[in-house]
């Protein structure tokens, strides 16, 4: 994975969390928006991260989005950092420097 792909996936995760936060922008309609957004977000989470982590994270993401007051948790970004901590990329150096 090159640096551009890493940056892009972090940007994607932050964007997904921002979309989840956007339901707070409209107080009454926001909770209705969460009903629509929660299953979509959970599916995207599962497809993005896959495996049991994606399934567990998707379920957590669904609950976080559907319950009032928990939208502030940046679940996509947290998972991105968890994956980066578990599988750090080696630092590449230019030969001769």
For the chain, the domains span: 3-86
> pLDDT tens across 10-25, in order?
999 999 999 888 877 7
Q: Could you tell me if 64 and 70 are in contact, meaning their C-beta atoms sit under 8 angstroms apart?
A: yes
The per-residue pLDDT for 6 is 46
> pLDDT tens across 26-60, in order?
777 777 888 889 999 999 999 998 888 889 999 99
Q: Could you tell me if 78 and 27 are in contact, meaning their C-beta atoms sit under 8 angstroms apart?
A: no
């Amino acid at each position: 994975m090159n640096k551009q792909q890493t940056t892009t996936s972090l940007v994607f995760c932050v964007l997904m969390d921002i979309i989840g936060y956007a339901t707070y922008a409209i107080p009454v309609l926001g909770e209705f928006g969460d009903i629509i957004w929660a299953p979509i977000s959970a599916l995207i989470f599962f497809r993005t991260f896959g495996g049991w982590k994606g399934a567990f994270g998707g379920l957590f993401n669904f609950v976080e989005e559907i319950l009032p007051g928990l939208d502030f948790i940046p679940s996509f970004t947290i998972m991105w950092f968890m994956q980066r901590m578990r599988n750090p990329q080696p630092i590449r150096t230019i030969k001769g420097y």
